[in-house]
């Protein structure tokens, strides 16, 4: 089956630093999504990407859909304590249509040191 | 964003019993919903696709007779874990797509502990 390689697995940073994480795949996905999950809760959508090459921002978050459709990155600028959590990339084969489930990366655990 | 709810948020049951988990789309209709399972410190794994008006489709390795899915209406899908065993203990999360691009929004999850 499809697999997403997400890195880094964990990050220890100081408050105010920028963060970068990425996902790669051996197969093409037509939709890339980034979610954040806090302990004991469901994933919350951060950014959705639908077109190869697309660069999208949501506040301090920026994500890009790779040209090859096999990768995506997420950047967080000027991290704050509430950014702590686990970030997941997810790929979807379909470009909209809602018929496909998501394939998730293994997650990046972001820890912010005071 | 769209709102998806799940009930219950957590459940403890004895081995051999059945447990039903509900997933509801609160402000939109969904002909398709998805069920995922997440073990501790792991990622989400797609279990099955719930289809309103037709049978669910299951991912490879997921037993359809153990994990019964019923998409009762355009806003409700249920997952029943039958004859639950301790190895079924996990975090079960549903999602539903909505909007022009059918973006998937997730419920808050249901923590199942089988004793």
Question: Do the bridges between strand B110-114 and strand B10-13 make them parallel or antiparallel, or are there none, so unpaired?
Answer: parallel
Q: How far is A56 from chain B, CA to nearest CA, in Å?
A: 15
Under-50 pLDDT residues of chain B: none
**CA dihedral sign of residues B96, B35, A52, A19:** positive
Q: Residue B92's closest chain A neighbor by CA?
A: A42
**CB contact at 8 A, A44 and A37:** yes
State whether residue B106 sits within 8 Å of chain A by CB: yes
Question: Is A96's Cβ below 8 Å from some Cβ in B?
Answer: yes
The reply to whether residue A98 touches residue B46, judged by beta carbons under 8 angstroms, is no
* Chain A nearest-CA residue for B5: A42
Backbone angles phi, psi at A109, to 5 degrees: -90, 115
pLDDT one-digit tens code per residue, A63-111: 999 999 999 999 999 999 999 999 999 999 866 555 689 999 999 999 9
Give the model's pLDDT for residue A1.
54
Count Cβ neighbours within 10 Å for each residue of B22-53 and write b for 16 or more, e otherwise: bbbbeeeebebbbbbbbeeeebbbbbbbbbbe
Q: Do B106 and A105 touch (CB under 8 A)?
A: no
Report how far residue A74's alpha carbon sits from residue B99's, in angstroms, rounded to the nearest whole number. 23
**What pairs with residue B112 in β-bridges?**
B11, B90
Residue of chain B whose alpha carbon sits nearest to that of A38: B108
User: How close B78 gets to chain A, by Cα (Å)?
Assistant: 17
CB neighbour burial string for A80-96, b if at least 16 within 10 angstroms, e if fewer: eeebebbbbbbbbbeeb
Q: Do B101 and A50 touch (CB under 8 A)?
A: yes
Residue B6 and residue A96: Cβ atoms within 8 Å? no
Token pair of B24 as six digits: 């509801």
Is B106's CB within 8 Å of A44's CB? yes
- A44-49 and A19-25: which strand pairing? unpaired
Candidates A43, A87, A93: best to mutate against B (most CBs of B within 10 A) is A43
Greatest alpha-carbon pair distance for chain A in Å reads 43
Give the model confidence (pLDDT) of A4-62 as tens digits: 999 999 999 999 999 999 999 999 999 999 999 999 999 999 999 999 999 999 999 99
d(CA A88, CA B38): 13
Task: Check the CA dihedral A94-A96-A101-A104 and report its sign.
Answer: positive
Q: Residue B100 in contact with residue A47, Cβ under 8 Å?
A: no
Q: So what's the pLDDT on residue B102?
A: 82
Q: Which of residues 62-91 of B touch A (CB under 8 A)?
A: 91
CB pairs under 8 A between A and B: 68
């Amino acid at each position: 089956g499809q697999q997403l390689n997400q890195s880094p697995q964990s990050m220890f940073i100081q408050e105010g630093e920028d963060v970068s994480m990425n996902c790669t795949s051996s197969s093409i996905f037509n939709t890339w999504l980034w979610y954040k999950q806090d302990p004991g809760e469901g994933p919350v959508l951060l950014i959705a990407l639908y077109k190869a090459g697309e660069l999208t921002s949501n506040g301090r978050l920026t994500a890009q859909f790779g040209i090859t459709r096999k990768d995506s990155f997420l950047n967080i600028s000027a991290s704050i304590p509430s950014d702590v959590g686990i970030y997941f990339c997810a790929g979807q084969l379909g470009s909209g249509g809602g018929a496909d489930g998501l394939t998730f990366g293994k997650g990046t655990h972001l820890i912010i040191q005071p | 964003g769209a709102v998806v709810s799940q009930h219950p948020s957590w459940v403890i049951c004895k081995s051999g019993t059945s447990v039903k988990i509900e997933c509801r789309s609160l402000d939109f209709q969904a002909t398709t919903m998805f069920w995922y399972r997440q073990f501790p410190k792991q990622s989400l794994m797609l279990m099955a696709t719930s289809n309103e008006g037709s049978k669910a489709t299951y991912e490879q390795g997921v037993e359809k007779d153990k994990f019964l899915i019923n998409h009762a209406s355009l806003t409700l899908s249920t997952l029943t874990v039958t004859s639950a065993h301790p190895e079924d203990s996990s975090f079960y999360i549903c999602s539903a797509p909505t909007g022009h691009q059918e973006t998937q929004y997730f419920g808050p999850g249901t923590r199942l502990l089988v004793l």
